[in-house]
């Protein structure tokens, strides 16, 4: 007899050892090590002359790209864990989100220290004048409270519902990041459009999931009685 999708998927992943690995401490170590790869590659490039003729722009581009990748990975966890019936994946969401924050800090500090020579006045002038900096800065600022409240203690303090509502700001950050990227590229918009499509799919999936949940929760209309 065919088994239901839920049970089949769970069983398949259990047989392949995926679930066991995902719940092990090694899985977190592997994800952490992979998260450090872009930073390590940049450091290696720095020591081997691989940063090109415009090293600051190179670092800004690499770290900016990496932020978008980690934002996309963080937002992929929920749809993936539901579609693949792998609740264990939730263990990695916080770490991926914090990596997005780590790389956006690196991105911002590269701009502030190497581009603006630590001039806060220069930075504010840029934030006010150049619209792609304004929108990038907004995305960055929105991530700060999310990183601070990412701990179990803060989830308890805020309560699940309020915490979830606050953490929806990550969608706004993703949108800001894509607009920032779209506005700064001069001609070839293929990559910003690609990221826009990725985030659109991830956000639309959530909308669909939310609508389905609401429909299920809605009380059935009682048949009219004479
Ligand atoms: C969530 C926040 C942000 C995201 C996702 C993001 C993403 C990106 C991306 C994808 C790029 C281009 C990479 C490429 O061309 O391959 C970039 C470049 C850049 N970003 Fe950001 N960024 C963010 C915040 C910021 C902030 C806060 C600042 C400064 C205040 C900033 C300043 C810059 C600069 C100066 C460039 C290089 C522009 C050029 O081509 O000269 N970004 N960013």
| Average pLDDT score, the chain | 93
How many angstroms does the Cα of residue 194 sit away from the middle of ligand 1? 16
Quote the pLDDT of residue 12: 74
Which residue from 20, 166, 189, 186 is spatially nearest to 97, judged by alpha carbons?
Answer: 166
Q: Which residue has the higher pLDDT, 73 or 17?
A: 73
Q: How far is CA 14 from the centre of its chain?
A: 27
| 8 Å CB contact between 111 and 62 | no
Q: Compute, in angstroms, the gap from residue 135 CA to the centroid of ligand 1.
A: 10
Select from 60, 127, 134 the residue to mutate for testing ligand 1; criterion: most ligand atoms less than 8 Å from CB. 60
Q: At 221, is the pLDDT very low, low, confident or very high (cuts 50, 70, 90)?
A: low
Helix axes 93-109, 131-148, angle to 10 degrees: 140
What's the pTM value of the predicted model, to 2 decimals? 0.91
Whether residue 59 has pLDDT greater than 60: yes
Task: Give the distance (Å) from ligand 1 centre to CA of residue 161.
Answer: 32
Say what percent of the chain tops pLDDT 70: 92
The residue contributing the CA closest to ligand 1 atom 41 is: 57
């Amino acid at each position: 007899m065919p088994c239901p999708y839920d049970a089949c998927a769970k069983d398949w992943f259990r047989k392949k050892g995926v679930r066991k690995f995902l719940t092990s401490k090694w899985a977190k170590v592997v994800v952490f090590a992979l998260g450090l790869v872009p930073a390590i590659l940049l450091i290696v490039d720095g020591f081997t002359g691989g940063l090109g003729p415009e090293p600051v722009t190179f670092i800004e581009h690499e770290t900016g790209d990496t932020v978008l990748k980690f934002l996309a990975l963080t937002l992929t966890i929920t749809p993936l864990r539901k579609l693949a019936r792998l609740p264990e994946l939730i263990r990695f969401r916080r770490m991926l989100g914090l990596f997005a924050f780590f790389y956006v800090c690196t991105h911002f500090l590269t701009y502030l220290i190497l581009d603006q020579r630590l001039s806060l006045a220069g930075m504010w002038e840029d934030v006010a004048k150049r619209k792609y900096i304004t929108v990038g800065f907004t995305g960055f600022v929105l991530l700060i409270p999310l990183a601070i409240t990412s701990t179990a203690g803060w989830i308890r303090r805020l309560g699940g519902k309020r915490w979830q509502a606050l953490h929806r700001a990550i969608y706004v950050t993703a949108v800001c990041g894509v607009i920032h990227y779209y506005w700064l590229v001069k001609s070839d918009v293929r990559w910003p459009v690609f990221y826009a499509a990725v985030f659109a799919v991830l956000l639309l999936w959530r909308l669909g999931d939310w609508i389905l949940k609401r429909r299920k929760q809605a009380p059935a209309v009682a048949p009219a009685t004479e």
